[in-house]
Amino acid sequence: SQKIEQNSEALNIQEGKTATLTCNYTNYSPAYLQWYRQDPGRGPVFLLLIRENEKEKRKERLKVTFDTTLKQSLFHITASQPADSATYLCALDRGNMLTFGGGTRLMVKP
Amino acid sequence: DVKVTQSSRYLVKRTGEKVFLECVQDMDHENMFWYRQDPGLGLRLIYFSYDVKMKEKGDIPEGYSVSREKKERFSLILESASTNQTSMYLCASRSDYEQYFGPGTRLTVT
């Protein structure tokens, strides 16, 4: 069956370091993959989309990679700040729908 | 800015009650979605709609129905609420690829 895995354990890093979050999937061949940010008590907010034919996408301090051979996406936040603390969700294309991973909570300590 | 609003932030209902959750978007999007979010299970798709009066089942439609009489409004209905439907309910609308989420309704069924 189709499965998306994100590290369910919280990721704790020091301010200024690069945070790297992982999204692995099986039994999918998505045309694109998206990353969302979710703060407590709020709905997710779209951050980035990367297509299957793109290896890397950047937006300000964010970088996403997409390896369709490894079936993995990496999400990087460089020069992390306490304000980056949130849960980050990856989502895979399923035609008209998205399937979301369980999310990884990032804590950036000052 | 795209705005997706949900009728209530918090709702407490009794077992067996009929519950309506309303969602309104202001960007003329054709596609709208209802998810529930539970700890450890992530976001799961209940139903979606790609046009007025059109609906499709998501991954967990049992115990729910939906209504889309107008393009901007998508309602989730719990015909007879049960305690296992206690959850955070999130509505979203879609533009091209990205989804815009409402703030969520935390429903407690006692």
**How many other β-carbons are positioned within 10 Å of the β-carbon of residue A28?**
15
Task: Express as a percent the part of chain A with pLDDT over 70.
Answer: 99
Read off the pLDDT of residues A6-56 as tens digits, 9 standing for 90 and up: 987 899 999 999 999 999 999 888 889 999 999 998 999 999 999 999 989
For A18, other C-beta atoms within 10 Å of its C-beta total 12
Number of residues in chain A: 110
* Chain A residues close to B41, C-beta within 8 Å: 102
Q: Tell me the chain A residues in contact with residue B97 when contact means C-beta distances shorter than 8 Å.
A: 32, 34, 49, 93
Enumerate chain B positions whose Cβ falls within 8 A of a Cβ in A.
4, 31, 33, 35, 40-45, 48, 50, 56, 58-59, 90, 92, 97-104
**Which residues in B lie closer than 8 A to residue A99 (C-beta atoms)?**
45, 59
Residues B15-52: tens digit of each pLDDT: 999 999 999 999 999 999 999 999 888 899 999 999 99
Q: What is the dihedral of CA B109, B61, B104, A44, to 10 degrees?
A: 140
Question: What is the rounded average pLDDT of the residues B83-108?
Answer: 95
Give the chain A residue nearest B33 (alpha carbons): A97
Contacts of A6 (CB under 8 A, 6+ apart): A21, A22, A23, A24, A88, A89, A90, A101, A102, A103, A104
Closest residue by Cα to residue A78 from A25, A29, A20: A20
Q: What was the pLDDT predicted at A13?
A: 96
Looking at CA atoms only, how far is residue A16 from chain B in angstroms? 29
* Distance between CA atoms of residues A77 and A57, nearest Å: 12
Is A42 in contact with B104 (Cβ distance < 8 A)?
yes
Structure tokens at A79: 């020069």
> CA–CA separation, A106 vs B43, rounded Å?
18
User: What is the arithmetic mean of pLDDT over A63-75?
Assistant: 95
pLDDT in tens, B58-76: 999 999 999 999 999 999 9
